[in-house]
Amino acid sequence: MGESLRGGVIGAGVFGGYHARQYARLPGVVLSAVLDTHPDRAAAVAMPWGGRGFTDMAEFLDAVDVVTVASPATFHAEQALAALAAGKSVYIEKPIATTVADGERVRAAAAAKGLVVACGHQERVMFQAIGLLDVPEQPLLLEALRHGPPSERSRDVSAVLDLMVHDIDLALSISAADAVTAEGEGRLSDDGVWDVARAEVSFEDGFSAIFDVSRQAPERKRTMKVVYPSGEVEIDFMARTFRNTTPFILNAGFADTPAGTDPLGASVEGFLKAVRGEAPRPVVTADEAIRALDLALAIEQALADPG
């Protein structure tokens, strides 16, 4: 193996810490730097893994080869574009941006320089570990529920861009059809952000997806049911179990696979393999992340204008 890549993380919050740990533990990469506007926070995340804390973007980019953007979502595009301009491939936590235009700018900047952009829809690796990405039938219906208690995390975006976008990506990953209509209803928080939302999306081939998210629930629940012509798959993401009545063989032991044990690690490792040329693509590409964002924003619009 050649010289290790120097990994850098933008954002010293909870997810920044998770990503710093991945760069510190995965083969072929080291945690070199963490960037944050608060120097103490940057140092606290970086130093336990042998990295340095930075507050200056240019200095940070000089110290790294690849970058994870784990800052608040409203900064994702701006910071990813800065990294790409410096010639660094980027792994962007979801959503890739908060507007489709910004997502497309990120995609174009990477394409112009031949760089990799990955997006952190990490539960895609769970679907892959279960075997759902290989089911040879198009789904008829998907019902997803993702609830959690109040948190100060990700208050810069709605529950649609924070939570629902995970399940939107999963729905798009198993359907070849395009969405044609979106209807929704929700509840705004005191600060004017959608914290509770339910949406129904219809696709051109008759597939329907129902998404139910809340950041005001008493406890965490994450479940999904996928109905196929030949049967159903019901998944409990918290218990890491599923029930399968289809004739297709799915991996009941998926929770014990590397992807099931550490989906974030598998997602970051996929990014690094794409950067090294060991894989043709990351787990979730910029194109796929933009498609999920586009539908998420359509759902937000439906919440704001239910008529």
Helix (H, G, I), strand (E, B) or coil at 98: coil
Amino acid at 288: E
Pairing mode of beta strands 5-10, 208-214: unpaired
Question: Measured at the alpha carbon of residue 77, what is the angle toward residues 306 and 13, in degrees to the nearest 5?
Answer: 95
Distance of CA 194 to the CA centre of its chain: 19
5-122+264-284 belongs to which homologous superfamily? NAD(P)-binding Rossmann-like Domain (3.40.50.720)
Instruction: State residue 2's pLDDT score.
Output: 62
Name the nearest CA neighbour of 69 among 238, 289, 222: 289
Supply 289's token pair: 């992340």
User: Residue 289 and residue 295: Cα distance in Å, rounded?
Assistant: 10
CATH level 3 topology of 124-254+292-304: Dihydrodipicolinate Reductase; domain 2 (3.30.360)
Q: Which own/partner pairs from 193-200 qualify as long-range (CB within 8 Å, at least 24 positions apart)?
A: 193/155, 193/157, 193/158, 193/159, 194/158, 194/159, 194/160, 194/300, 194/303, 195/158, 195/159, 196/159, 197/158, 197/159, 197/160, 197/164, 197/299, 197/303, 199/160, 199/164, 199/299, 199/302, 199/303
Q: Answer yes or no: same fold for 5-122+264-284 and 124-254+292-304.
A: no
Which stretches of the chain score pLDDT less than 50? Answer: 1
Supply 64's token pair: 């790294």
Can you give the residue ranges of every domain in the chain? 5-122+264-284, 124-254+292-304
Query: Between helices 76-85 and 100-113, what is the axis angle to 10°?
Result: 10
Supply 102's token pair: 């910004």
DSSP state of 246: S
What phi and psi, each to the nearest 5 degrees, are found at residue 229?
-55, -30
Instruction: State residue 1's pLDDT score.
Output: 44
- Nearest 10 degrees: CA dihedral of 149, 151, 155, 160? -20
User: Residue 174 and residue 50: Cα distance in Å, rounded?
Assistant: 40
What phi and psi, each to the nearest 5 degrees, are found at residue 28?
80, 10
- pLDDT of 119-146, one tens digit each? 999 999 999 999 999 999 999 999 999 9
